[in-house]
């Protein structure tokens, strides 16, 4: 993605039109030969009325925003979280809130303009803001990504064996084909894939089987930290349960730590230990899963949870409807970023003067200081 950013800046500096910028980035990414990176698609979306251009990665959230005056916006702001080793950390929020951007920044795939991302390993620590190319190669072995779409993430020209083995070969983890095959067979078995599956191509598998292949590819380098970005969103409900149970099983077997990004709150409630709620690049609430779902404090969290369908016929509660769309990252509201949609916002606009930041209201339960007043 650094390649895309570089191409983008070059084209804009040459004063190409926004349409040509989009076209140029797409062409360069198709022709580029990336090593150790799986690129599916990058395209641009332009708002004609405002002249605002948003680059979107693989159908996910915006990775950068630029207006007609070529001013860049930050997709993630003032984030302060700690993901404990061995935890299943959930991240929820609307599309465009910055979830994917945060996950990619933690993996070193998005540039960090301010602040620090520190990865604490048993052997050493990695600071992603000052990390060298050599250190990044080592970090790639310890932190991996499971993609959302199991159909787009797998090359149709490669066998399952080659797909799973590719990270080992690219990162030069194994020294012989025999060693590579042994690692592939071992992780395939852990992901409930048969040996006969390794000789087939992706088109021969269902969505759930393809996602197990994606998981095996992510885990073959023996990482300690996994970013699962909407990894079950494209699957049927019954298949989702199977993949979630597999992720939990692998967590215990391999001592993994997850950052689980999802729109599905019921899924997050089922698998996650800690849940953080994002809105327009900010964490507005963070708490243990059971505490967050039983006692939400921030009005945005309450609105999200109210949208979960209930099978209880006695439950007559209605979903909280938020007016309008999530504001542009190019021109976010001052003070509390949620104030333009908040049902508790005052008429005098005092929330515009409240600085965003988390406050611990009960042990382990953090809420944005403006949301505390609405609780």
Asked if residue 120 is part of any domain, the answer here is yes
pLDDT > 90: percent of the chain: 38
pLDDT surpassing 80 at residue 123: no
What confidence score (pLDDT) does residue 228 get?
94
Pairing of strands 125-127, 358-362: unpaired
Q: Are 296 and 305 in contact (CB under 8 A)?
A: yes
Do 106 and 184 fall into the same domain? yes
- b/e 153-190 (16+ beta carbons within 10 angstroms → b): bbeeeeebbebbbbbbeebebbeeeeebeebbeebbeb
Do 216 and 293 fall into the same domain? no
Do 63 and 110 fall into the same domain? no
What confidence score (pLDDT) does residue 237 get?
84
Do 107 and 244 fall into the same domain? yes
What confidence score (pLDDT) does residue 209 get?
93
Asked if residue 14 is part of any domain, the answer here is yes
pTM of the model: 0.78
Asked if residue 169 is part of any domain, the answer here is yes
Which residues are paired to 277 by β-bridges?
92, 285
> In which band, very low, low, confident or very high, does the pLDDT at 316 lie, cut at 50, 70 and 90?
low
160-170 helix and 177-190 helix, angle to the nearest 10 degrees: 120
Do 24 and 109 fall into the same domain? no
Asked if residue 81 is part of any domain, the answer here is no
Do 140 and 32 fall into the same domain? no
Read off the pLDDT of each residue in 58-81 and give the average, rounded to a whole number: 57
- pLDDT single digits (tens) 161-177: 999 999 999 999 999 99
Asked if residue 317 is part of any domain, the answer here is yes
Distance CA 146, CA 201 (A): 19
Residue ending a domain, among 253, 272, 291, is 272
Read off the pLDDT of each residue in 261-272 and give the average, rounded to a whole number: 90
Q: Are 268 and 89 in contact (CB under 8 A)?
A: no
Do 292 and 242 fall into the same domain? no
What confidence score (pLDDT) does residue 199 get?
93
Do 95 and 161 fall into the same domain? yes
Asked if residue 80 is part of any domain, the answer here is no
Do 147 and 45 fall into the same domain? no
Highest mean pLDDT among 7-21, 122-136, 177-191: 177-191
pLDDT surpassing 90 at residue 29: no
Do 183 and 241 fall into the same domain? yes
Domain at 122, CATH number = 3.40.50.300
Distance CA 210, CA 138 (A): 27
Residue ending a domain, among 227, 246, 272, is 272
Mean pLDDT of the chain: 79
Asked if residue 79 is part of any domain, the answer here is no
Q: Considering its fold, how many domains does the chain have in total?
A: 3
- Containing structural domain, residue 39: 2-73
What confidence score (pLDDT) does residue 257 get?
95
Residue written as token pair 């303009």: 113
Do 103 and 230 fall into the same domain? yes
Phi/psi-derived region of residue 357, left when phi > 0, alpha when psi is between -120 and 50, beta in every other case:
left
Q: Are 19 and 46 in contact (CB under 8 A)?
A: yes
Do 128 and 225 fall into the same domain? yes
Distance CA 32, CA 143 (A): 24
Asked if residue 277 is part of any domain, the answer here is no
Pairing of strands 257-261, 225-229: parallel
């Amino acid at each position: 993605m650094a390649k895309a950013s570089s191409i983008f800046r070059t084209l804009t500096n040459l004063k190409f039109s926004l349409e040509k910028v989009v076209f140029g980035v797409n062409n360069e990414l198709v022709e580029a030969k990336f090593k150790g990176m799986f690129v599916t698609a990058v395209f641009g979306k332009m708002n004609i009325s405002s002249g605002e251009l948003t680059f979107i990665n693989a159908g996910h959230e915006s990775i950068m925003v630029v207006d007609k005056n070529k001013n860049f916006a930050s997709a993630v702001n003032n984030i302060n979280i700690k993901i404990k080793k061995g935890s299943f950390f959930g991240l929820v929020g609307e599309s465009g809130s910055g979830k994917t951007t945060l996950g990619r920044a933690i993996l070193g795939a998005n540039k960090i303009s301010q602040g620090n991302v520190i990865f604490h390993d048993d052997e050493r620590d990695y600071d992603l803001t000052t990390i060298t190319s050599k250190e990044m190669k080592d970090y790639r072995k310890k932190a991996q990504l499971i993609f959302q779409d199991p159909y787009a993430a797998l090359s149709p020209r490669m066998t399952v064996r080659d797909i799973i083995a590719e990270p080992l070969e690219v990162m030069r983890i194994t020294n012989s084909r025999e060693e590579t095959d042994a690692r592939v067979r071992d992780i395939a078995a852990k992901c409930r894939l048969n040996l006969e599956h390794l000789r087939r191509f992706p088109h021969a598998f269902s969505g759930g089987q393809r996602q197990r292949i994606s998981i095996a590819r992510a885990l073959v380098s023996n990482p300690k930290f996994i970013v699962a970005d909407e990894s079950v969103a494209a699957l049927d409900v019954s298949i989702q349960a199977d993949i979630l149970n597999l992720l939990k099983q692998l967590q215990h077997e391999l001592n993994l730590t997850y950052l689980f990004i999802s729109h599905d709150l019921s899924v997050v409630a089922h698998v996650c230990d800690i849940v953080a709620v994002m809105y327009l690049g900010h964490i507005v609430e963070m708490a243990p899963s059971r505490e967050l779902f039983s006692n939400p404090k921030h009005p945005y969290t309450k609105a999200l949870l109210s949208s979960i369908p209930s099978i209880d016929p006695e439950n007559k509660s209605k979903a909280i409807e938020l007016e309008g769309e999530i504001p542009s990252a190019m021109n976010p509201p001052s003070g509390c970023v949620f104030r333009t949609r908040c049902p508790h916002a005052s008429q005098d606009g005092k929330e515009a003067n409240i600085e965003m930041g988390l406050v611990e209201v009960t042990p382990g339960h953090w809420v944005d200081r403006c949301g505390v007043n609405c609780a």
